[in-house]
């Protein structure tokens, strides 16, 4: 996919075993039409050779300020950059940036740059959690550098925990949002966020089901941004595409609406923010056959498929809050995938739905052939319940990637006031 305007992107690479993932990151940017300059530390070249980075970027690679002195590379690269992303960033590099060092080409480039900078760290959990590193990360953030929360999972060797490098496509897509102007504020540390994602499947027999086209991308994008704001994120995922796990998120996999309801009932009481982005089947087959329905033999059952209404999970969660079994301050967000009908626009139907469901915000998007489900872009209108449920406050969600839509929705939640630290 080509971006609207191609940009000068610097990919900084520090000396960690995850340096190999930087190759995919470089590829990702060049495939979007960006010009990429790779600036590794000398330690990074112990893991990936300069020739690989030169071939992938089509640009020369240097680690020191003493190469290309006539071109004044140590300031020119930083001055010309539209965005810098460092992946992986080690504890040592983060410390050097925090103390304003300029003892190699990468740190000098960062010191010169005035463009958005993203730092994706990779290190052992102990190093990441060490107060020295955390203080350095806080310093970088206070200067407007976006330090991404690392993934949790397998690290080099046998151990596993926080400190794993995010997947290259996660780093690239988050970086693009930052290069487009998002600051990804780290304001939700200590907050607990529950997100439902994907589409439920309702069994008809052991091989067939009633389902829908939801891929789970929007729910995962919301989880990604909530995690990058520092929240503790739980996702209840129904039949989602193979999507990378947002940093530190816990995933509970479910299949049907009733499975989802049980998981939500169990996890909702601990949450500060609950976002129901899943497409839940309103009905399920009344009878679920134990054995595969046979052509010829069971035709009568297939001809008149009896359905039973599923529980409305969003309504249930609102009731739980009304009855005092949730945090009374919990913010509840619903989604309305509407097509509109002969009498009402999609938005009019969503206004009625907000009042009916009783949630605090409702994200309304128009769906239909080729729109939203499984597509990279989304847009719509966010309705915020005010004094009069029939006249909610309306905020346009401008068209963009699902991450961009997630950023706009989470910013609106912040705007409610009682959610900010």
Query: How far apart are the C-alpha atoms of 12 and 14, rounded to whole Å?
Result: 7
Tokens at 144, concatenated:
């407007």
Q: Which residues pair with residue 89 across a beta bridge?
A: 121
Q: Kindly tell me which residue out of 36, 146, 274, 313 binds ligand C5P, with binding defined by CB under 6 A.
A: 313
| Cβ at position 257, least distance to ligand C5P in Å | 5
311 annotated to a ligand binding site = yes
Q: Kindly tell me which residue out of 117, 278, 354, 361 binds ligand C5P, with binding defined by CB under 6 A.
A: 278
Give how far Cα 277 sits from Cα of 218, 337, 374, 397, Å.
Answer: 7, 10, 14, 15
Q: How many CA atoms lie within 13 A of 366 on its CB side?
A: 13
Helix pair angle (168-179, 20-31), 10° resolution: 50
Q: Does 373 bind ligand C5P (CB under 6 A)?
A: no
Task: Identify residues 174-213 at the interface with ligand C5P (CB under 6 A).
Answer: 196
Our CB check for ligand C5P shows the closer of 18 and 363 to be 363
Contact between 280 and 310 under an 8 Å Cβ cutoff? The reply is yes
Q: Does 335 bind ligand C5P (CB under 6 A)?
A: yes
Q: Kindly tell me which residue out of 19, 249, 336, 361 binds ligand C5P, with binding defined by CB under 6 A.
A: 336
Query: How far apart are the C-alpha atoms of 37 and 35, rounded to whole Å?
Result: 7
Tokens at 43, concatenated:
């330690």
| Cβ at position 414, least distance to ligand C5P in Å | 20
Our CB check for ligand C5P shows the closer of 135 and 352 to be 352
Q: Kindly tell me which residue out of 10, 147, 226, 314 binds ligand C5P, with binding defined by CB under 6 A.
A: 314
Our CB check for ligand C5P shows the closer of 91 and 410 to be 410
Contact between 352 and 299 under an 8 Å Cβ cutoff? The reply is no
Q: Candidates 107-115, 170-178, 306-314, 393-401 — which segment interacts with ligand C5P by CB under 6 A? A: 306-314
The CA-based diameter of the chain, rounded to the nearest angstrom, is 83
What count of residues does the chain have?
421
Our CB check for ligand C5P shows the closer of 245 and 365 to be 365
Q: How many CA atoms lie within 13 A of 288 on its CB side?
A: 12
Query: How far apart are the C-alpha atoms of 377 and 402, rounded to whole Å?
Result: 6
402 annotated to a ligand binding site = no
292 annotated to a ligand binding site = yes
Number of chain positions touching ligand C5P (CB under 6 A) = 13
Q: Does 222 bind ligand C5P (CB under 6 A)?
A: no
Contact between 334 and 357 under an 8 Å Cβ cutoff? The reply is yes
| Cβ at position 310, least distance to ligand C5P in Å | 5
Place of tokens 């961009």: 404
Catalytic (active-site) positions: 212
Q: Candidates 35-43, 216-224, 334-342, 401-409 — which segment interacts with ligand C5P by CB under 6 A? A: 334-342
Other beta carbons less than 10 A from residue 183's beta carbon: 12
Query: How far apart are the C-alpha atoms of 214 and 200, rounded to whole Å?
Result: 9
Q: Kindly tell me which residue out of 282, 322, 329, 341 binds ligand C5P, with binding defined by CB under 6 A.
A: 282
Q: Candidates 139-147, 167-175, 241-249, 332-340 — which segment interacts with ligand C5P by CB under 6 A? A: 332-340
Q: How far is CA 282 from the centre of its chain?
A: 27
Q: Cα torsion at 118, 124, 128, 130 (round to 10°)?
A: -150
Residues 227-266: x where in contact with ligand C5P by CB under 6 A, - otherwise, as a string: ------------------------------x---------
Q: Candidates 125-133, 227-235, 273-281, 380-388 — which segment interacts with ligand C5P by CB under 6 A? A: 273-281
Residues that bind ligand C5P (CB under 6 A): 196, 257, 276, 278, 280, 282, 310, 312-314, 334-336
Q: Which residues are annotated as a binding site for CTP?
A: 282, 292, 311-314, 335, 353, 357
């Amino acid at each position: 996919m080509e971006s609207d305007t191609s940009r000068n992107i610097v990919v900084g690479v520090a000396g960690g075993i995850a340096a190999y993932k930087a190759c995919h990151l470089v590829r990702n940017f060049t495939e979007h039409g960006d010009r990429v300059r790779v600036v590794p530390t000398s330690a990074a070249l112990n893991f990936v050779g300069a020739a690989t980075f030169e071939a992938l970027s089509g640009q020369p690679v240097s680690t020191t300020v003493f190469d290309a002195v006539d071109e004044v590379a140590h300031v020119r690269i930083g001055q010309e950059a539209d965005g810098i992303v460092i992946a992986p960033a080690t504890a040592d590099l983060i410390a050097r940036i925090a103390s304003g060092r300029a003892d190699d080409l990468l740190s000098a480039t960062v010191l010169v740059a005035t463009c958005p900078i993203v730092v994706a760290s990779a290190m052992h959990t102990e190093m990441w959690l060490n107060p020295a590193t955390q203080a350095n990360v806080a310093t970088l953030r206070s200067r407007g550098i976006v330090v991404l929360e690392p993934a949790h999972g397998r690290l080099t060797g046998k151990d596993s925990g926080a400190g794993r490098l995010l997947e290259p496509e996660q780093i690239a897509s988050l970086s693009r949002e930052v290069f487009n102007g998002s600051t990804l504020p780290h304001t939700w540390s200590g907050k607990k966020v529950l997100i439902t994602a994907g589409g439920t499947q309702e069994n008809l027999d052991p091989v067939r089901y009633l389902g829908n086209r939801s891929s789970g991308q929007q729910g995962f994008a919301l989880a990604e941004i909530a995690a990058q704001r520092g929240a503790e994120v739980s996702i209840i995922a129904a039949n989602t595409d193979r999507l990378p796990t947002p940093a530190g998120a816990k995933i509970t996999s479910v299949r049907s609406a009733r499975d989802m309801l049980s998981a939500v009932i169990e996890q909702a009481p601990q949450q500060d923010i609950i976002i129901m982005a899943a497409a839940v089947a309103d009905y399920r087959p009344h009878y679920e056959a134990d054995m595969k329905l046979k052509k010829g033999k069971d035709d009568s059952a297939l001809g008149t498929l009896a359905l039973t209404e599923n529980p409305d999970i969003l309504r249930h969660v609102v009731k739980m809050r009304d009855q005092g079994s949730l945090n009374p301050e919990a913010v509840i967000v619903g989604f309305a995938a509407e097509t509109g009908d002969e009498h009402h626009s999609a938005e009019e139907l969503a206004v009625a739905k907000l009042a009916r469901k009783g949630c605090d915000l409702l994200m309304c998007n128009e769906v239909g052939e080729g729109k939203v489900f499984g597509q990279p872009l989304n847009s719509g209108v966010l309705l915020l319940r005010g004094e009069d449920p029939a006249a909610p406050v309306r905020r346009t969600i401008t068209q963009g990637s699902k991450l961009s839509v997630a950023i706009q929705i989470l910013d609106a939640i912040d705007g409610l006031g009682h959610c900010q630290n």
